[in-house]
Structure 1
């Protein structure tokens, strides 16, 4: 049993396999339609950085997200998203850093917004590089850090897993 406390955690990811997903990355304005990114069969990665996160944390998160065997291939064997192969949608999710105090959620442990965006961009780029090296035909899409986003998914699970770092 781990003696590591929540205060020692640097980040959280939630992994969820999907049949498809769609995320709004830019809301509709007076002059433009809303913009969306979409993926087919693959993996949704919800990501939150806590205080103390570094590039080392990002490396561990990328390895876990891309190599954990969560998706069933055509034979029913659990494989990683790289082995499937499947698309990846990365969704910034600061609410994963919340803690309940009374009846309210507090986010005091979340990383500073500027540092979080830097690490988020690093995570997205690293995932994109690794996935494209493995299979240039799969898609890596990402949400907009720091904004609310409309989200829709179809899943055959939901097979949702949280990993802390």
Structure 2
């Protein structure tokens, strides 16, 4: 698990999910237009939740870790990074990762305020897009603060929790 040096309390929680294909609805259908979707082929879906205390300072290390940690399985079975695969990245804001069970409900008191989370998420998108520059690869992202529909095809539930 990745972590911040000298600090035991995480400020960002992520789950990495290897995929063969993923499709995320970023805008629901309305009376005027059909639903809008973003899609990646082989790569990684990263669910992201910013917690209290998160600042832009954590983002460069986070992006480096997400793109270089060896959690993707290559066709040969060897574990490689997204950069080595090569593969595309789909960022999905996921506030529920900040929840804690209290009795029979889940509370989200540790989550960052929505405006701060949106700002950090936008910076994360930009940094990832700057780093994923190989031809044919892409960074796609969901819409912060909206409920979204996700379709994912995977060859196994290879999910990894990383906290920063």
* Distance in 1 between residues matched to 2:38 and 2:23, nearest whole Å: 6
Report which of the two has the higher share of helix: 1
Q: CA deviation at 1:77?
A: 1.6
- Give unpaired runs (5+ residues) of structure 2: none
**Corresponding position of 1:155:** 154
Q: What does residue 22 of structure 1 align with?
A: 23
Q: Give how far 1:75 is off.
A: 2.4
Over residues 109-142 of structure 1, what are the superposed CA-to-partner deviations in whole Å (9 max), with x where a residue is unaligned?
100101100100111111111011xx13201100
Q: Which runs of 5+ in 1 are unaligned?
A: none
Q: 1:1-165 residue pairs with structure 2 within 5 A?
A: 5=8, 8-132=9-133, 135-165=134-164
How far apart are the structure 2 equivalents of 1:92 and 1:26?
14
Of 60-69 and 83-92, more deviation after overlay is shown by: 60-69
Aligned length: 160
Cα RMSD, aligned residues only: 1.5
- Give the C-alpha shift of residue 4 in structure 1: 5.8
Moved segments of 4+, more than 6 Å: none
- The 2-side partners of 1:136 and 1:127 are apart by 15
